[in-house]
Structure 1
C-alpha cells in the first residue's frame, strides 16, 4: 500500500519577502493551498524599489539590487517569472589574473576615495603595491577580522583607509567586525540588476498568490498535529504547516508555542546585526556620473560604496546608490547628512560639482519589520549556525537569507531558502487519523 507523502491541507507563510514569496509560489505550483501574511503594506521585504520624485520613469533600489554570476536560483526564478535582467557590469576588474583575490579585483586607479580625494597616479600605485605585497607576504586567514589583518600586515594609514571602503562593501560591516573571507575568497565579478527595480520580481511573484498585507503575526502555536497563527489584531488561522520567513532580528518578536529550542534561540542571539542602510540620489549630469560610477567607487568616509544603480539606462539623469553602515549609521538619521555624504562622494568621483534632482534614504534599523540590513554569518561558524536556523520544528519551517549557508544576506540566499522550505513542506509525511487509516486499509 502506498500512502500520499504530502499533506493535502493549507499552508500559511509568514512574511512576503523574496523567501516567503518563493516558498509560497513553489507550494502553489505543486497544488497546495497557500496564504501569505505580511506585516508591511507592500510585498518584497528588504527588496524595496522607490519611484516617487524620480524623473524620466527612473527608480532607486533601497534594498537588494545585485545579481551576480553565481545567483543561479534567483536567475532561474526571474526567467520563470518573465522578469528581465540587465546586461552585466563588472564590479571587479574584468581581466583578473589567475589566483587574484576579489580585493585585488576591486583595486583600480581613480576608484578609491581616501581623505577626501581620489587615489590616482603614483599615490594609487604605491597603495596598490603595498596591499598586493601584504596579500602575498602576510596572507590573511579567511576567519581573520579585516582590521586585525591590516594591523598584523603593518599596512600604512593610507592603505588602511583604502580598505575601509572596500572592506565594508561586500556585507556592510565595519572592518573590525567582518572576516577576511569576503575579500580573499568571495568573488563578485560582474553583476546584473532586475530591469525596473528589484520590487518588480516581488510584485510578479505575489500576483497570483493570496497575500494579506498589514497583517503582522503575534504568535505561532503547534498542537494536535496542526499549527495556529495568531495575528496582532487577534485573528487566528489554522493550517497543516507553516513557513516562517521573516528577518532574523524580527523572529524574536514572534511568540512560539512550544518555545523554540535553546540551540535555535542561542544561534539567533549570537548573530551580528548589520546596522545602516542606503541613500539614493538622481543626478542631472547623467553621462559624467555614469562614466565615473558605473563600476562603483569605495570611500573611507561615512558613505563607503557608491555606484550607478540603473547602469542599463544610458541616457538622461543617472541614479546612484550609496551605502552607510556600522559606526557611521548615525548619518542616515537625517536627509541632510545622508544626502550630503552621497553628494560629496559623487562630486569627488566625477571631478566637478553635480546637481541632485531627487533622492531617498532608508535606515533599515528604523524599519520595525527588518531591524537591520541583515546578518552576514562569520566564515568559521556559518554552517553550524545555519543548521540551527534552518531546522524545522515539527510542522513549522524556516526560510530567509540567514538560513542559507552559502549566500546569506543576499537575494539569492532568500530565494534558495524559500525553495528549501517549500521542499520540506512537500516532503513532510502525512499524518492520518485512525478513521483515515481504516479507510485506506479497506481500499487496499
Structure 2
C-alpha cells in the first residue's frame, strides 16, 4: 500500500520525533470511529476518551498531514464570518450561544498544551493589521462586538503603536488580541495524538476510509480492514474526497501557500516583530506571518480555488513578503508548500449528523486552528447526549455551490477577484 509522507514543509522538517503508527489490518470494534487525524479528529478523540469512550482513528496519511500540520500556525479567535453576520443570519438566541463559543477554541488549545505537556512553541499575542481607515473602522466595531461577548484581552493600536510591534510601514493601525497567539501546528497535532494514545485511543496511519457502511451499526471500510462502531465522526475536511457525497457538494477545497525563510538571526528577527506576536492583515485575501522558534519568518497568503498546487509558490508569496518587509530582499527561502482548507459558500462551519450515528464537522473556511478544537468538544458533547451547542452549529444554513461541483471553482474565483479588487481600491 502506498505510504504517503508529509509534504516538504518547515513543520515536517522541524517536527518532534514520533513512533511510526501501523496501518489497520483486519477487523476492530470500538465505540467511536473517527475519520481523520487532524485537529477536529484529535480534539474529538481527546474529549471522548476523557469521558470514557473507546476510540479508534483512521488516517489516510499521517497525523496532521492536512491543514492541521501545514497552516500558518496562528491562534485566531471567532469564525471566518464574525458573530454579527451570524446574528443577522440566525437571530439573537442562537448567535448568543455561538458568540459565547467564539473564544473557546484558543482556551482549549492552551489547556491541552498545559495538561499534556505538548512542546509546540506556544506564544501569546496576535495582531490584526489595518491598511485603510475603512479596515480600522471595522476593527473598532469588531472590538466592541467581541467585548459584548465577554472577550476583553483586546487593544486598539494607532499608527505609532503598531510600529512598535511590527516593522511594516503599510499599516495605519490595528488591534492586538492577547488571547490570540501562535504555535508549531504540526507539533501541536503530534502532541495531541500522543495524548490520545496515552488515554488508550488507537490511531491507524496510512489507512484511508474507502467506504462507510451506514445503518444501526455503521462500519468504516479501509483497504485492508474495517472498524465496527456505534458512532462515526467524519473529520476529513478538505481531504475527505467523495467519501460522503452529501458533504462534498456543499464545500470546496482551496489551497493556501506558505513560505519560510532561512534563519534570520536574533537581531533581524527582533527588528521585524519585537514582541514575537503573529500578524494578519485585514484584506479579504489576507497575508499572515510570524516568527518561528529558530527565528525564521513564516509568511503565507493567497488562495488557489479548487486546490491545485501552483507551480512556483515562492513566486506567488515572496513579493507579498517583500512588500511588507523590503529589508528581507536578500534573504533565502528554505521552504515553500501549499495546504488545503475547506471553504463553504456561507464561510461558516458545517456541523451535523447523518442518520442517527454519523456526525461531522467541516468547512472552517480558513479559521480552523481554534474552531476545530472547539468542534471536537461540541461533537463529543453531542455523543454524550448534550446537544445544545451542537444544535447551534447544526442550525447554521448551508448552501450547495452554484452549478454544482463543476462550476464551484470559477464562481468562487470570480468572487475572490471582486473582493481583492475591493481591497486594492480601499
Whole-Å Cα distance in 2 between the matches of residues 188 and 274 of structure 1?
28
Cross-structure match for 1:192? 181
Cross-structure match for 1:219? 211
Equivalent pairs, count: 302
Instruction: Give TM-score scaled by structure 1 length.
Output: 0.56
User: For 1:4-403, what aligned pairs fall within 5 Å after superposition?
Assistant: 10-43=31-64, 45-48=66-69, 62-68=70-76, 70=103, 71-83=106-118, 86-92=122-128, 100-101=140-141, 108=159, 189-190=177-178, 191-194=180-183, 197-207=184-194, 208=197, 209-223=201-215, 225-231=216-222, 233-247=223-237, 249-254=238-243, 264-265=246-247, 268-271=248-251, 273-284=253-264, 286-293=266-273, 296=279, 305-310=287-292, 313=293, 317-326=295-304, 332-334=310-312, 337-338=315-316, 341-342=317-318, 345-346=321-322, 349-351=325-327, 353-356=329-332, 359-364=334-339, 372-375=340-343, 378=346, 382=348, 386=350, 389-400=351-362, 402=364
CA apart distance, 1:64: 4.5
| Secondary structure of residue in 1 paired with 2:45 | helix
**CA deviation map 1:195-237 (0-9, x unaligned):** xx122221122121310000001111123x2111111x25222
**CA deviation map 1:280-316 (0-9, x unaligned):** 222435523442355547599xx95252332xx4xx7
Contact 2:126 2:182 in 1 (8 A): no
CA spacing shift, 1:298–1:204, aligned 2, 3 Å: closer
Whole-Å Cα distance in 1 between the matches of residues 125 and 255 of structure 2?
27
CA apart distance, 1:274: 3.3
| Secondary structure of residue in 2 paired with 1:88 | strand
State the structure with more CA Rg: 1
Whole-Å Cα distance in 2 between the matches of residues 98 and 236 of structure 1?
50
CA spacing shift, 1:81–1:119, aligned 2, 3 Å: closer
Whole-Å Cα distance in 1 between the matches of residues 269 and 168 of structure 2?
18
CA apart distance, 1:347: 7.4
Cross-structure match for 1:164? none
Instruction: Give TM-score scaled by structure 2 length.
Output: 0.58
Whole-Å Cα distance in 2 between the matches of residues 119 and 21 of structure 1?
37
Backbone CA RMSD of aligned residues: 4.3
| Secondary structure of residue in 2 paired with 1:42 | coil
Which runs of 5 or more structure 2 residues have no equivalent in the other structure?
1-28, 78-102, 131-135, 144-154, 388-426
Whole-Å Cα distance in 1 between the matches of residues 373 and 308 of structure 2?
31
Whole-Å Cα distance in 1 between the matches of residues 207 and 329 of structure 2?
46
**CA deviation map 1:140-171 (0-9, x unaligned):** xxxxxxxxxxxxxxxxxxxxxxxxxxxxxxxx
CA spacing shift, 1:289–1:101, aligned 2, 3 Å: farther
Contact 1:64 1:410 in 2 (8 A): no
Whole-Å Cα distance in 1 between the matches of residues 318 and 282 of structure 2?
11
Contact 2:33 2:231 in 1 (8 A): yes
CA apart distance, 1:242: 1.2
Whole-Å Cα distance in 2 between the matches of residues 16 and 363 of structure 1?
19
CA apart distance, 1:17: 0.5
Higher strand share: 2
